Amino acid sequence: MRLMAHKGMIVTVGVGSGIEHAIVTSVRNANPHNLIFLVTGGSRGTLERICREAQSRGVLLLPYEEEEIRDESDAEAAYEAAVKAGCKRQKPGGNHR
């Protein structure tokens, strides 16, 4: 019996115009089992646009999770939020279903 790799995707959500199309395309192409968005107070509106774009294109975003980054200018805090988000999704025994 061959085990399939469990794929996760952590996406940093910015505030740029039009990035929702690129993020939805990436999610569609990667087809992850778990999806986590790293957001700031300023990028929550972008996440809403991502959700609308995905719905209009028929791309399933899964029941995704959000991890908030309080200070987007603090690279270390962003890294720690990504690690924290990834660890929360880690299953005992590895990344296999």
pTM of the full structure: 0.80
The per-residue pLDDT for 72 is 80
Say how far apart CA 37 and CA 9 lie, in whole Å: 8
CA distances from 77 to 19, 58, 85 (A): 22, 33, 12
Domain chopping of the chain, boundaries: 8-89
pLDDT of residue 89: 61
Low-confidence ranges of the chain (pLDDT < 50): 92-97
Q: What is the pLDDT of residue 94?
A: 39
Q: What is the Cα–Cα distance from 21 to 13, expressed in whole angstroms?
A: 12
- Cβ neighbours of residue 52 closer than 8 Å, sequence gap 6 or more: 20
Q: Note the pLDDT of residue 50.
A: 97
| Cβ contact 33:6 at 8 Å | yes
d(CA 16, CA 43): 9
pLDDT for 90: 59
